[in-house]
Amino acid sequence: MSEERNLIPLMLTGIGTIIGTVGCLWYYGYLHFAKPEDALLLSDFTLLKTVPGEDYKVSLTPAAQVAQCVEGVLVMFDTEHKGLSGVLVNNKKQAVRCMGQETPTMRE
């Protein structure tokens, strides 16, 4: 009963399992390593002011982002990168608010 166990294979198996799990989560989009340039995605948007009687042209191809009103704030979700979302803000970092939609409330 005084046998010594070699713990090195057990430790290597544990480390390999963790690395494999993180790799699979990253590959399938459940894990995202954020980079500073990811925060710049929302800076590419421009407001087109509509003036009565004037025409404006937009592309027929829809953008890869969709917007939803969440708790009174406009949240944008990217349809190409799973799990990537952000709050639309102006140049003063003020969140763009939603109007005309009721905020869902939790009932207890």
Residue keyed to tokens 């939609």: 101
pLDDT band at 23 (very low <50, low <70, confident <90, very high): very high
Question: Does one domain contain both 53 and 1?
Answer: no
Q: Structural domain tally of the chain?
A: 2
- Are residues 46 and 25 located together in one domain of the fold? no
Model confidence band, residue 12 (pLDDT cutoffs 50, 70, 90): very high
Same domain as 106, residue 56: yes
Non-local (6+) Cβ contacts of 22 within 8 A are 31
Per-residue pLDDT tens digits for 24-78: 998 988 887 777 666 655 446 777 778 888 887 888 888 888 888 888 888 888 8
Q: Is the pLDDT higher at 45 or at 100?
A: 45
60 and 90 co-located in one domain: yes
Check the CA dihedral 92-98-65-21 and report its sign: positive
Range of the domain at 2: 1-31
Q: Kindly state whether residues 82 and 54 are assigned to the same domain.
A: yes
pLDDT in tens, 37-47: 666 554 467 77
Cβ pair 29, 83 in contact under 8 A? yes
Same domain, 17 and 58: no
Q: In angstroms, what CA-CA distances link 17 with 13, 22, 30, 34, 103?
A: 6, 9, 17, 23, 43
